Chains A and B, each alone.
Chain A
Amino acid sequence: MLKSEDIVRRFGAKTAVDHVTLSLEAGHVYAMLGPNGSGKTTWMKMAAALMKPTEGRMLFQGAPVSVESRRHVAYMSTEPYFYSWMTVRDAGRYYDDFFEDFSMSHYEELLRDMELEMSMKTRTLSSGMAAKLKIALTLARDAQVYMLDEPFNGIDLLARDQIRACILREATPEKLLLLSSHLVEEMEAIADRAVFIRQGKLIEVCDLEQLREQRQQSMADRYREIYGHAEVAQ
């Protein structure tokens, strides 16, 4: 469904994504893992057609990602991005105006689950509330691909539970969910596949059940194995 072919993205002398070939399929929840600066956000932005690759191709349903693919790919950035004048209701209306697959009633449901009110001003929301709002807006779309960049960033345990429950509700066989996070244990409860990236390079894509059965390893164990060794080597 979503595929990168030998994709490269450079920022001056720095290579953020280095010849990554990766294919993600519908019906799975992928955890994209890696330390800060490993290229997770850059890869996601290229998949969301927000950033142009320096080399290689990013494909959605076999065609290069474009303005058209944004109709079916819902991307949530890690930083809050709302206009300062917006209320929670305005943000919903904005999505409703631009995305045909956005459902206002689903948005209202998600807001109820997240304990957010329509009249709240986005500029006065705490970081946890803003994160919940971003998730509600993104998941209220009936997209084919959801990419959530650091959905658990800066939020407390209870809010994380709410977010996790909402994300799991959206995971259906027709949809592809891709989440990036530093909270590996948190991701273990949601994802069924993991993508490990280090210094812009793809290290491994693994099925978590197979990992548990064949190598008797959890995702966190594998994470420690990959990045722990790298840190020692460095």
Chain B
Amino acid sequence: MKALLKYEFRKTWFAKLIFLGITAVAEIAFLIGIALGPAHETGERLVTIGALVLFMVAMFGVFIIGVQSVLTLHRDMNTKQGYMLYMTPRTSYQILGAKTLENGLSILLSGAFFFLLGFLDITLLFSRFGTLQQLWDFFQDMLHAINKEITLNTQTILCLTVSFLASWLATVSMAYLADILSSALLNGKRFNGIITFLIFILLSVLLGWLQDVLQPARVAIDAGLLIRGGVSLAFSVLLYCASAWIMDRYLSV
């Protein structure tokens, strides 16, 4: 499993390195802007650009990590490089497990990294740009007026992040299953692409329905987010088992 994980990370490290590079440049620009302070025009500009780029990288980074993972699985099942994996004495459960684990860890670690970075940057920003704290308070009051239960604090943002990451992991697992069905069972059949897409949509609807059904009617926002995240994770585990079973029984390379 260790060797499989090592090579799964190796297959995707280049894209991650690019994201890290962009993040480092944006963070440096942001920190220079903070150091220059609100009185300096260039400082404000650097803070704005840096924050914007960091936000974009955080959003797209997690998204692209998932998409890249699905593309790698697709290549491993449908091109000659698949021999590198399937000729090894490793079961489909181990092969897919390494892929899922690598993807889950990458999503989780990048999510945690950007959450911490965001938290530190925002704290730093408020300490240097005092007017922003007033703007934030105004925004909070507005949300509170709409719904008394909504308080945008660190805990809620953390729950939101966890729920989002778990949902994304479930989405990637659904794409895995759809792709495995397409490569192992529907390969060469008519309407393969459409059927695969429909299966993916059906699974997404099923996950949404499960989240709605399993979330109690009266529950705090934070708890609700965590329940939805938990359902997503449990669903991912089920999808993994089904996918590996299909790979084991039907996939030929």
Q: Which residues of A contact B (CB under 8 A)?
A: 11-12, 45, 48, 50-52, 67-68, 70-71, 75, 77, 79-83, 85, 94, 97-99
B81 touches A83 (CB 8 A): yes
Stretch at the interface among B38-46, B53-61, B213-221, B245-253: B245-253
Stretch at the interface among B84-92, B151-159, B172-180, B228-236: B84-92
A77 touches B83 (CB 8 A): yes
Determine the chain A residues whose CB is within 8 A of the CB of B249 once the complex forms. 52
A81 touches B90 (CB 8 A): no
**Distance in angstroms between the alpha carbons of A75 and B253 in the assembled complex:** 13
**Distance in angstroms between the alpha carbons of A70 and B253 in the assembled complex:** 14
Q: Which residues of B contact A (CB under 8 A)?
A: 3, 6-7, 10-11, 14, 80-84, 86-91, 188, 249-250, 252-253
B90 touches A50 (CB 8 A): no
A97 touches B6 (CB 8 A): yes
A94 touches B80 (CB 8 A): no
**Distance in angstroms between the alpha carbons of A68 and B89 in the assembled complex:** 6
Q: Which of A80, A94, A98 has the most C-beta atoms of chain B within 10 angstroms of its own C-beta?
A: A98
B7, B83, B188: the one within 8 Å of A12 (CB): B188
Query: Given the known A-B contacts A68-B89, A99-B88, are A52 and B81 also in contact in the complex, defined by CB atoms under 8 Å?
Result: no
Number of A-B contacts (CB under 8 A): 52
Determine the chain B residues whose CB is within 8 A of the CB of A99 once the complex forms. 88-89
A79 touches B80 (CB 8 A): yes
A48, A83, A98: the one within 8 Å of B3 (CB): A98
B84 touches A82 (CB 8 A): yes
B250 touches A67 (CB 8 A): no
**Distance in angstroms between the alpha carbons of A94 and B83 in the assembled complex:** 12
A97 touches B80 (CB 8 A): no
Determine the chain B residues whose CB is within 8 A of the CB of A45 once the complex forms. 252-253
- In the complex, besides A50-B86, A70-B87, A71-B89, 10 extra interface pairs with C-beta distance below 8 angstroms are A11-B188, A51-B252, A51-B253, A52-B250, A70-B88, A77-B83, A79-B80, A81-B81, A83-B84, A97-B3
A50, A68, A82, A83: the one within 8 Å of B253 (CB): A50
Pick 9 A–B contacts, CB within 8 A, sort by A: A52-B252, A68-B89, A70-B88, A79-B80, A80-B80, A81-B83, A83-B11, A85-B10, A98-B90
CB distance from A203 to the nearest CB of B (A): 25
CB distance from A131 to the nearest CB of B (A): 14
B80 touches A77 (CB 8 A): yes
CB distance from B78 to the nearest CB of A (A): 13
A98 touches B10 (CB 8 A): no
**Distance in angstroms between the alpha carbons of A48 and B253 in the assembled complex:** 11
